[in-house]
Amino acid sequence: MTTIFSDEIDGSSSSQRATTSIVNSQSTSPCVATFARAGSGANVKAALSGALTANTAKQMINITGSAGEMAWLSVFTNDATARTVRIRVTVDGVTAPYAFDSITGSISVADGGIVVIGNITSTVIATISYNLKWRSSLLVEIYSSLTETDKLTLHYNYALEA
């Protein structure tokens, strides 16, 4: 039996297969929040949420026209105000289903959130478990159950292909 992957016949310039689904301990909603702040040695970029409207998507990463890989992605709270947090990942425009879409139960501690890609082995060490891959676009959106500003942080890193 021969298996033919769609990326072998669709004529795309990138030979990389895209991630279609991320399954981990936090991929089922509502998920239990975990410590989600990457340690200082994790080499991640931090982005504050900016202004958020309750239960409304906020685009945090929007890459188009390039293939790439992401080795770390998490979202977490910056204070102990009770709220729920959601993160949704769209790979190559496919929204049915999203590559990842999960919401926490109520979080009332700082640094609680969702680790999409990566693995926290302690409060200071983060390791890579697998990479999220895309061929043409990546969209990462976050949500809070509250209207607030800079109360969530996104940690991430990625590499783009030529």
CATH number, position 127? 2.60.120
pLDDT, tens digit, 9 for 90 and up, residues 19-68: 998 888 888 888 888 888 876 667 889 999 999 999 999 999 999 999 99
Domain count, the chain: 1
What are the C-alpha distances in Å from 98 to residues 27, 93, 161?
11, 9, 22
pLDDT in tens, 63-99: 999 999 998 899 999 999 999 999 999 999 999 899 9
Contact indicator for 30, 84 with CB cutoff of 8 Å:
yes
Q: Is residue 57 part of a domain?
A: yes
Asked whether residue 130 is assigned to any structural domain, the reply reads yes
Residue 122 CB coordination number (10 Å):
8
Residue 140 lies inside a defined structural domain of this protein: yes
72 lies in which domain range?
15-160
The three-state secondary structure class of 6 is helix
Q: What is the reported pTM? A: 0.85
Quick check: is 150 in a domain? Answer: yes
